[in-house]
Amino acid sequence: MNNVPGQTHSGEGVLAQRVALVTGVGPGLGRACAVALAQAGASVAVCDVDPETLEATRAAVEAEGVPCLALRCDVSSSADVQRMFSQVAVRFGTLHILVNNAALTPNRPDDTRRRNLHYGYMTSPVPRQSLGFTSSMSDEDWHHYWGVNVHGVFYCAREALKLMEPQRYGRIVNVASIAGISAMSAHSPHYSATKGAVIAFSKALAAEVAGANVFVNVLAPGGVATPEFNAYLDTIGDEARNRLWQMVPSGRLGTPEEYAATVVHLASDHHYLVGQVISPNGGAVI
């Protein structure tokens, strides 16, 4: 491997001597992925737009006894992304693992209204009709989601490949969503479209770069028990919550740690997966 002496963690673990970068490391899946990669022995760089989130994740990673580089970065900015990868290369010498997790998610009040309407429609015997989500969506909302969720994935993958292709080694995990392979998030067509785009891009990229021993795969989570989603569930009451579980055979959300364990596997050498969409979702889509 093409490391700078003294800059990577030399301990044990399935990812010892590897360098990983995780984008979007707020509480929930991003932070869980960063910590899980650290527990597997990797040195970890993390990025986010929120300084407080970034500092909390840096502390959590370093508590696992591995080096951590924390960088503020807006992944929708090509210039920001280029600067970030330059800093990772200076600190660690190279990069072996990229987890493209940064994304906008539908969690504003209007998103919640649409989600409640959709879930109620799917789990109640009411007349069929159009829910009117797409026809009322603004240009601004549509473009904003694509900037982070799709352009950001492309910018980060492009810079990662500049390090991975010459060394003939890399693992890229692009985080999509069950929304990209189903109608489970019909309440947010802009979000669903971006996650479908991530999947299509990942498949094309995987076919392109596998010959350089760079394996690209997709994690497409179902519901994630993030603080935001748990807070939403607390607001809807027992009856609506139980109706929601009718759509999920396991009857619960997946924990960030459960999803992160799959990311660690995809980041390792212990698989033969190229261009695959792995969707832990509790049976919501089978």
The answer to whether the CB of 123 falls within 8 A of the CB of 244 is yes
DSSP for 98-141, written as a single string: EEE-------SHHHHHHHHHHHHHHHS--------TGGG--HHH
Q: In whole angstroms, what is the distance from residue 64 CA to residue 69 CA?
A: 14
Question: Nearest Cα to 175, choosing from 270, 277, 89, 87?
Answer: 277
Residue 43 in tokens = 């040195």
Burial of 125 (0-12, 13-18, 19+ CB in 10 A): exposed
CA torsion angle 107 61 18 36 (round to 10): -60
Q: Which residue has the tokens 């209007």?
A: 110
Active site residue 169: no
Query: Per residue in 249-281, is it b (16+ CB within 10 Å) or e — as a string?
Result: eeeebbebebbbbbbbbbbbeeeebebbbbbbb
Q: Which residue has the tokens 């179902």?
A: 222
Selected catalytic residue, list 145, 169, 191, 259: 191
Give catalytic residues, as residue numbers.
191
